[in-house]
């Protein structure tokens, strides 16, 4: 029974123009890369890290072009000068800085280094050095401190003999002077005596025309931003140059890993069967060897240097990449589009390049990003042990190694490269974590 | 079970053999020979020395001699330190590395498991965040930065530990702490994530539902399962820690095996390099093997495949 179709007037009314588009997808469809990129942009830590890395990379490329020193330029007279110096004020436009070796450096009152003042006479017995600065006779007297050091050594021995921590003030002149306003005090702990010796006692006294200089001024080293190393090379440009080396090593080694790993893993996964089995057993054996050991052995064979360190890292750290690529290939090759390509008659090379590799770029890229900091880490480690980059080239590991000998006297030479390397590895790790969250589909929620 | 163990032992022996062979051919691929120095220009003397060390024979026969000697536990004589055998040198340096490695491993396990559980129980709270920040820093900052920072702080500024060497027990604090840091931060993360996994399991809910006290739930049901991933990590970590960190031994001036290794490389002492490499490899493979076998005993769910 046909129902009488009743169409009300309302239904005959035309719709609004806007309602026509209600079902249309008006956001542009996103590719895998755009999608991942958007997710990456939302990750603040990863973005900050990315900008830091870009900043370091640009800095390491550009700064050497206009910096006033080159990384290998030596000025032995200006060796081991820290970025901040406590100076003596000689007159309104000259300051004097005494190095830990009791040499005298002349600075402008703004902090620009002028020269290493050569002494007129060195009196080793009286422990006094005589200089002429701006036609004034300057005497540098370090006898008090060196006497105090000797006295302290004696106190140490005495304390060791008696087995007591307390030492007698009377037996050491520097302590007697120090406590001259407290006549009641007779003993002091060895530790406190050491504190007085190392922290409180003036190491030198400087006098001009017989009048002692007392006015101190803390100046920033305007000639060398971060000070100089033991050969008088500018530390700042060496750190910048070290960034070049470290970043080059990181990126190139990761790319070599990528190529070897994709080639090896791709073949193993694609061919499968017995070949796959044998190839993966080899990978198992290689991955059970401590990698640092093999990097070192390869370095021994091909000799130190930038190229060999990159080769050594590239040749040993591809195992993880090979495993990831093999796993990806194994899953991808079962899929219809690969079968279709085989049916159409594409050869293995084309299937690899056009179908498999583009589809597994996500995990591969994440892995590359993760290998960069580990390559930088290993390069620094090798250079630090003395097997990596050697002088006059500078990597951060080399700089830290150079600074190790003088760590107590010139800690700044260690601090700056250490900060550079730690922050760089840290930000690379943060960035690659962000990349993994954004691009590795397995972890997508 | 027995077949599993036999298989694992065979694989371990294969690995050691592979490392021995690779090391031998790598060392022989180095251009030049260790006696090519300006002091010895007389070909007769060089010939005599080569005969003494067997270097005049073809590579293959040297290889078999080398394997044979190593099978008898004879790691050859040092080129650079005349009159000393590699065995003696390793025996002199190894105790230092072993001591540091043992204490560092103990520290990693105790603190790592403890902090990992703590972080998991306080997930996303302040303690957890703090521990995660520390473990990220510990895993990313190179050990030589830690080591020198430690020296600056505790030796120079506070004067609590000696600057160099291991004359007394204080000297061991720095090396142990610094070499433990990296593994420690890894174990904290590992323990935290596996503990979080386990705490969401049904049997934990069951245990709580039947009214077990919390420490029993954690100790008996959660910890036993959550610690398994940490157990697999112990083998390689233990081996890495007792073979000595090159960096830590260098900075703290410890005459351990890591220092010997870098020293032998800088001296181009090829027999030493080979000996120490193979020694490292044997230690590592042995530790991994022991842990693999233990793992099967601990976790009956794993099939001896």
Which of A82-86, A91-95, A179-183, B230-234 shows the lowest mean pLDDT across its residues? A179-183
Mean pLDDT score, A92-114: 80
Contact B137 A425 (CB under 8 A): no
ipTM of the complex: 0.80
- Torsion of the alpha carbons at B251, B252, B255 and B260, rounded to the nearest 10: -20
Q: Which residue of A has its CA nearest to B141?
A: A422
Give the contacts of B220 (CB within 8 A, at least 6 positions apart).
B207, B212
> pLDDT at position B244, please?
62
Give the contacts of B223 (CB within 8 A, at least 6 positions apart).
B113, B117, B195
Which residues of A make CB contacts under 8 Å with B? 191, 194, 285, 288-290, 292-293, 296-298, 300-301, 373, 377, 380-381, 384-387, 397, 400, 404, 407-408, 411, 414, 418, 421-422, 425-426, 429
| pLDDT > 90? residue B258 | no
Contact B144 A381 (CB under 8 A): yes
Give the contacts of B75 (CB within 8 A, at least 6 positions apart).
B69, B85, B86, B87, B90, B271, B274, B275, B278, B279
Return the number of CB contacts < 8 Å for A and B. 102
Alpha carbon distances (Å) from B96 to A94, A386, B103: 54, 22, 11
| pLDDT > 50? residue B72 | yes
> pLDDT at position A444, please?
47
The pTM assigned to this predicted structure is: 0.81
Question: Beta-carbon neighbour count of residue A269 at 10 Å?
Answer: 24
Closest CA of chain A from B124, distance in Å: 17
Residue to substitute from B148, B163, B245, B281, interface A, most A β-carbons within 10 A = B148
> pLDDT at position B35, please?
62
Contact A301 B27 (CB under 8 A): yes
> pLDDT at position A58, please?
93
pLDDT digits (tens, 9 = 90+) for A160-211: 777 777 777 777 777 767 777 776 777 777 777 777 777 677 777 777 877 7
Confidence at A445, pLDDT banded by 50, 70, 90: very low
**Burial of residue A440 (number of CB atoms within 10 Å: 0-12, 13-18, 19+):** middle
pLDDT digits (tens, 9 = 90+) for B14-62: 888 888 888 888 887 776 666 665 566 677 777 777 777 677 777 788 8
A403 backbone φψ class: left, alpha, beta (φ>0; ψ -120 to 50): alpha
Contact B273 A381 (CB under 8 A): no
| pLDDT > 90? residue A54 | yes
> pLDDT at position A441, please?
60
Average pLDDT over chain B, rounded to an integer: 82
Question: Beta-carbon neighbour count of residue B258 at 10 Å?
Answer: 25
DSSP assignment letter at B151: I
Question: Beta-carbon neighbour count of residue A56 at 10 Å?
Answer: 20
Contact A301 B266 (CB under 8 A): no
Chain A residues with CB under 8 Å of B30 CB are 300-301
Contact A429 B163 (CB under 8 A): no
Cβ(A90)–Cβ(A213) below 8 Å: yes
Q: Which residue of A has its CA nearest to B159?
A: A191
- Three-state SS for chain A is CCCCCCCCHHHHCCCCHHHHCCCCCCCCCCCHHHHHHHHHHHCHHHHHHHHHHHHHHHHHHHHHHHCCCCCCCCCHHHCCCCCEEEEEEEECCEEEEECCCCCEEEEECCCCEEEEECCCEEECCCCEEEEEECCEEEEEECHHHHHHHHHHHHHHHHHHHHCCCEEECCCCHHHHHHCCCCCCCCEEEHHHHHHHHHHHCCCCEEEECCEECCCEEEEECCCCCCCECCCCCEHHHHHHHHHHHHHHHHHHHHHHHHHHHHHHHHHHHHHCHHHHHHHHHHHHHHHCCCHHHHHHHHHHHHCCCHHHHHHHHHHHCCHHHHHHHHHHHHHHCCCHHHHHHHHHCCCHHHHHHHHHHHHCHHHHHHHHHHHHHHHHHHHHHHHHHCCCCCCCCCCHHHHHHHHHCCCCCCCHHHHHHHHHHHHHHHHHHHHHHHHHHHHCHHHCC
Residue to substitute from B33, B145, B183, interface A, most A β-carbons within 10 A = B145
> pLDDT at position B47, please?
77
> pLDDT at position B304, please?
52
Please say whether the dihedral angle defined by the alpha carbons of residues A152, A154, A155 and A161, taken in this order, is positive or negative.
Answer: positive
Closest CA of chain B from A430, distance in Å: 9
Q: Which residue of B has its CA nearest to A298?
A: B26
Chain A residues with CB under 8 Å of B157 CB are none
Cβ(A251)–Cβ(A361) below 8 Å: no
Contact B151 A407 (CB under 8 A): yes
Chain B residues with CB under 8 Å of A297 CB are 23, 26-27, 273, 277
Chain B residues with CB under 8 Å of A418 CB are 142, 144-145, 148-149
> pLDDT at position A379, please?
87
- Give how far the C-alpha of residue A296 lies from the chain's centroid of Cα atoms, to the nearest Å: 21
Contact A421 B142 (CB under 8 A): yes
Residue to substitute from A294, A298, A385, interface B, most B β-carbons within 10 A = A385
Which of A73-77, A362-366, B40-44 shows the lowest mean pLDDT across its residues? B40-44
Contact A426 B137 (CB under 8 A): yes
pLDDT digits (tens, 9 = 90+) for B149-180: 888 888 777 777 777 767 677 778 888 888 88
- What values do phi and psi take at B285, rounded to 5? -60, -40
Q: Which of B21, B13, B23, B59 minimizes the C-alpha distance to B273?
A: B23
Contact A421 B145 (CB under 8 A): yes
> pLDDT at position B39, please?
61
Confidence at A423, pLDDT banded by 50, 70, 90: very high
Residue to substitute from A156, A282, A293, interface B, most B β-carbons within 10 A = A293
For helices A32-42 and A44-66, the axis angle rounded to 10 degrees is: 90
> pLDDT at position B250, please?
84
Closest CA of chain A from B51, distance in Å: 23
| pLDDT > 60? residue A403 | yes
**Which has more pLDDT, A327 or A208?**
A327
Chain B residues with CB under 8 Å of A52 CB are none
Give the contacts of B139 (CB within 8 A, at least 6 positions apart).
A429, B182, B185, B186, B189
Closest CA of chain A from B121, distance in Å: 23
Cβ(A247)–Cβ(A280) below 8 Å: no
**Which has more pLDDT, B79 or B178?**
B178
> pLDDT at position B37, please?
59
Confidence at A424, pLDDT banded by 50, 70, 90: very high
Mean pLDDT score, B85-112: 88
Contact B142 A377 (CB under 8 A): yes
DSSP assignment letter at B255: -
- Give how far the C-alpha of residue B100 lies from the chain's centroid of Cα atoms, to the nearest Å: 11
Confidence at A116, pLDDT banded by 50, 70, 90: confident
Chain A residues with CB under 8 Å of B273 CB are 297, 300
Say how far apart CA A417 and CA A419 lie, in whole Å: 5
Which of A34-48, B33-47, B185-199, B209-223 shows the lowest mean pLDDT across its residues? B33-47
Contact A429 B243 (CB under 8 A): no
Contact A418 B243 (CB under 8 A): no
Q: Which stretch, A98-112, B49-63, B208-222, has highest mean pLDDT?
A: B208-222
Q: Which stretch, A116-125, A262-271, A304-313, A433-442, has highest mean pLDDT?
A: A262-271
Using CB atoms, pick whichever of A289, A387, A418 lies closest to residue B265: A387
For residue B215 the two structure tokens come to 């420490």
For residue A211 the two structure tokens come to 């009048």
Chain A residues with CB under 8 Å of B240 CB are 290
Mean pLDDT score, A123-144: 80
Chain B residues with CB under 8 Å of A296 CB are 261, 265
Give the contacts of B205 (CB within 8 A, at least 6 positions apart).
none
Contact A387 B15 (CB under 8 A): no
Using CB atoms, pick whichever of A381, A411, A429 lies closest to residue B152: A411
> pLDDT at position B241, please?
82
Contact B145 A429 (CB under 8 A): no
């Amino acid at each position: 029974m046909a129902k009488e179709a009743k169409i009300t007037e309302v239904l005959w009314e035309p719709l609004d123009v806007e309602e026509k588009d209600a079902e249309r997808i008006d956001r542009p469809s996103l590719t895998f890369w755009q999608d991942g990129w958007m997710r990456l942009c939302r990750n603040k830590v990863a973005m900050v890290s990315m900008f830091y890395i870009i900043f370091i990379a640009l800095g390491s490329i550009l700064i050497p072009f206009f910096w006033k020193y080159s990384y290998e330029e030596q000025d032995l007279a200006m060796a081991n000068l820290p970025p901040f110096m406590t100076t003596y004020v000689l007159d309104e436009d000259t300051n004097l800085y005494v190095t830990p070796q009791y040499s005298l450096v002349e600075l402008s009152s703004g902090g620009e280094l002028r020269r290493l003042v050569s002494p007129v006479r060195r009196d080793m017995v009286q422990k006094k050095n005589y200089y002429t600065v701006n036609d004034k006779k300057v005497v540098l007297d370090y006898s008090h401190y060196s006497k105090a050091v000797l006295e302290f050594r004696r106190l140490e021995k005495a304390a060791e003999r008696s087995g007591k921590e307390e030492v007698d003030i009377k037996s050491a002149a520097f302590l007697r002077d120090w406590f001259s306003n407290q006549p009641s005090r007779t003993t002091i702990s060895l530790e406190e005596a050491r504190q007085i010796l190392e922290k409180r006692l003036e190491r030198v006294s400087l006098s001009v025309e017989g009048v002692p200089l007392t006015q101190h001024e803390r100046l920033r080293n305007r000639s060398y931003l971060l000070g100089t190393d033991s050969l008088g090379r500018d530390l700042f440009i060496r750190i910048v140059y070290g960034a070049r080396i470290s970043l080059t090593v990181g990126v190139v080694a990761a790319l070599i890993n990528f190529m070897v790993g994709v080639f090896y893993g791709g073949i193993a996964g694609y061919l499968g069967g017995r070949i796959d089995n044998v190839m993966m057993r080899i990978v198992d054996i290689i991955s059970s060897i401590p990698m640092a050991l093999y990097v070192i052995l390869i370095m021994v064979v091909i000799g130190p240097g930038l190229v060999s360190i990159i080769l050594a890292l590239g040749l040993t750290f591809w195992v993880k990449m090979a495993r990831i690529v093999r796993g990806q290939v194994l899953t991808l090759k079962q899929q219809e589009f690969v079968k279709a390509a085989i049916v159409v008659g594409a050869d293995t090379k084309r299937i690899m390049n056009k179908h498999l590799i583009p589809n597994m770029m996500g995990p591969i890229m994440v892995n590359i990003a993760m290998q960069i900091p580990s390559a930088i880490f290993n390069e620094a480690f090798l250079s630090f042990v003395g097997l990596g980059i050697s002088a006059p080239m500078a990597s951060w590991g080399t700089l830290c190694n150079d600074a190790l000998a003088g760590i107590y006297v010139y800690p700044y030479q260690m601090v700056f490269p250490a900060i550079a390397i730690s922050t760089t590895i840290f930000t690379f790790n943060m960035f690659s974590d962000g990349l993994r969250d954004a691009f590795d589909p397995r972890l997508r929620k | 079970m027995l077949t599993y163990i036999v298989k694992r032992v065979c694989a371990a022996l294969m690995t050691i053999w592979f490392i021995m062979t690779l090391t031998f051919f790598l060392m022989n691929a180095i251009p030049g020979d260790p006696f090519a120095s300006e002091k010895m220009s007389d070909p007769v003397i060089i010939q005599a020395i080569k005969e003494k060390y067997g270097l005049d024979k073809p590579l293959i026969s040297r290889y078999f001699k080398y394997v044979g000697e190593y099978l008898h536990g004879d790691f050859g004589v040092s080129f650079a330190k005349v009159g000393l055998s590699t065995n003696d040198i390793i025996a002199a340096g190894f105790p230092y590395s072993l001591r540091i490695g043992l204490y560092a491993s103990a520290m990693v396990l105790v603190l790592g498991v403890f902090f990992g559980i703590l972080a998991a129980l306080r997930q996303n709270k302040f303690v957890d965040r703090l521990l995660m920040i520390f473990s990220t820093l510990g895993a990313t900052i190179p050990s030589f930065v830690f080591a020198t920072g430690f020296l600056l702080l505790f030796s120079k500024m506070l004067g609590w530990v000696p600057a160099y060497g291991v004359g007394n027990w204080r000297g061991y604090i720095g090396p142990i702490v610094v070499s433990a840091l990296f593994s420690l931060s890894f174990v904290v993360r590992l323990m935290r994530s596996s503990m979080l996994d386990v705490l969401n399991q049904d049997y934990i809910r069951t245990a709580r539902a039947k009214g077990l006290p919390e420490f029993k739930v954690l100790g008996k049901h959660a910890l036993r399962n959550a610690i398994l991933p940490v157990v697999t990590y112990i083998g390689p970590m233990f081996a890495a820690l007792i073979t000595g960190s090159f960096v830590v031994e260098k900075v703290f001036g410890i005459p351990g095996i890591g220092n010997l290794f870098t020293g032998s490389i800088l001296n181009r002492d090829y027999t030493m390099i080979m000996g120490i490499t193979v020694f490292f490899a044997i230690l590592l493979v042995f530790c991994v093997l022991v842990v693999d076998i233990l793992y099967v005993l601990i976790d009956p769910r794993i099939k001896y495949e």
